[in-house]
Amino acid sequence: MKQKTISFVLPVYNEREGIQSFWKEISKTGRALQADSLESEFIFINDGSTDGTLDLLKDIAQEDPRVRVIEFSRNYGHQIAISAGIDFASGHAVIIMDTDLQDPPAVCLELVRAWREGAEVAFAKRRTRKDSFMKKLTARIFYRLLNAISDTHIPADVGDFRLLDRKAVEAMKMYREKHRFMRGISAHIGFRQKEILFDRDERTTGVTHYPFKKMLRFSTDAIMGFSSVPLRLISRLGMLVSFLSILGIIYVFVVKLLQPQQVVTGWPFVMVAIFFIGGIQLTVLGIIGGYIARIYAESQDRPLYIISAVHGADRS
């Protein structure tokens, strides 16, 4: 019988210092899989690195025929890099993982075991993580909020580190939205999902590519991609404000009727009310604008990514 293949989808952006030790570790995992009669295929997606990472990847591809390097024409972002990797992967199962050794390669073996036991999506959930306090706090709030308002149950404290069976891969490839939140999509497709717990390591070299601003964009993509609750909240907010203003109107009338000599005081109140409503209106416009921007991006229908070259033995 022909051996089954596991494809590793490995997004890389400016990981010059760490990529060789990553490769060393992941090839060990490859050997462990081989001992278990599984072939491996490694797909690196070079997401427009500017620090010489690409040359290191090309060297790796030259040495090992199981390695392919997909070179993007520029930096497209982590989620798009993963998407391209999935498009290219040919294995019976695909493992997506970061290339900074924060996702421990040893956990891959557990994902594979879950897959062999029948899981079609095996995702790695962080039991602990060694990141900054801010990162942990924001992640905590983000996952709780997302789950409270999204229609799809998206497991908390789970990154993109996961194994997908071929069936799940084909399903995910059908999602071509431009603002992508891959772990949400992977939950949305259904199938038999299984959770594997692990301890997320520290980044040993280089820096995170998700500073606060990018995390904010990432969470907006997640929320707007998987929930229309913000839009629905707008009308609730409108009703609340209308109700408050009716109370105000009644108050003014009652004072006019019962004590006509007393003028309802307060131009400061009028100013505050104007600013209050102005603020609400701008916020609401921003929310609607966010959804419109997504409609706009979809209607432009630009390609998700452009590949400038593919390196490695197998170019099919």
Minimum CB distance to ligand UDP, residue 217 (Å): 11
Task: Decide: is 47 part of the binding site for Mg ion (CB under 5 A).
Answer: no
Q: Among the candidate windows 101-109, 227-235, 254-262, 276-284, which touches Mg ion by CB under 5 A?
A: 101-109
Q: Among the candidate windows 5-13, 54-62, 150-158, 171-179, which touches ligand UDP by CB under 6 A?
A: 5-13
Task: Decide: is 98 part of the binding site for ligand UDP (CB under 6 A).
Answer: yes
Q: Which of 16, 125, 209, 294 binds ligand UDP (CB under 6 A)?
A: 209
Of 103 and 165, CB closest to Mg ion: 103
The CA-atom distances, in angstroms, between 126 and each of 129, 131, 161, 227, 268 are 6, 12, 10, 24, 51
Minimum CB distance to ligand UDP, residue 250 (Å): 53
Task: Decide: is 83 part of the binding site for ligand UDP (CB under 6 A).
Answer: no
Task: Decide: is 68 part of the binding site for ligand UDP (CB under 6 A).
Answer: no
**Local structure of residue 51 (DSSP, 8 states):** S
Query: What span, in angstroms and rounded, lies between the C-alpha atoms of 257 and 251?
Result: 10
Residues 6+ apart with CB under 8 A from 153: 147, 187
Task: Decide: is 47 part of the binding site for ligand UDP (CB under 6 A).
Answer: yes
Phi/psi at 263 (5° precision): -80, 140
Query: What span, in angstroms and rounded, lies between the C-alpha atoms of 156 and 124?
Result: 11
Q: Among the candidate windows 100-108, 143-151, 264-272, 297-305, which touches Mg ion by CB under 5 A?
A: 100-108
Strand partners, 4: 38
HSE value, Cβ hemisphere, 13 Å, CA-based, for 127: 7
Task: Decide: is 221 part of the binding site for ligand UDP (CB under 6 A).
Answer: no
Q: Is 27 helix (H, G, I), strand (E, B) or coil?
A: helix
Task: Decide: is 15 part of the binding site for Mg ion (CB under 5 A).
Answer: no
Structure tokens at 132: 């900054």
209 binds, among Mg ion, ligand UDP, none (CB under 5 to 8 A by kind): ligand UDP
Q: Which of 75, 138, 152, 220 binds ligand UDP (CB under 6 A)?
A: 75
Q: Which of 6, 57, 60, 81 binds ligand UDP (CB under 6 A)?
A: 81
Task: Decide: is 100 part of the binding site for Mg ion (CB under 5 A).
Answer: yes
Task: Decide: is 34 part of the binding site for ligand UDP (CB under 6 A).
Answer: no
Task: Decide: is 5 part of the binding site for Mg ion (CB under 5 A).
Answer: no
**Local structure of residue 153 (DSSP, 8 states):** -
Q: Among the candidate windows 63-71, 74-82, 115-123, 282-290, which touches ligand UDP by CB under 6 A?
A: 74-82
* DSSP H or E stretch at residue 231: helix 229-258
Q: Which of 5, 46, 53, 102 binds Mg ion (CB under 5 A)?
A: 102
Task: Decide: is 58 part of the binding site for ligand UDP (CB under 6 A).
Answer: no
Residues 6+ apart with CB under 8 A from 62: none
Phi/psi at 107 (5° precision): -65, -25
CA-nearest of 174, 168, 173 to 187 is: 168
CA-nearest of 85, 258, 73, 243 to 169 is: 85
| Beta strand ranges found along 49-90 (DSSP E) | 67-72
Q: Which residues make up the interface to Mg ion (CB under 5 A)?
A: 98, 100, 102
**Would you tell me which residues interact with ligand UDP (CB under 6 A)?**
11-13, 15, 47, 75, 77-78, 81, 98-100, 102, 208-210
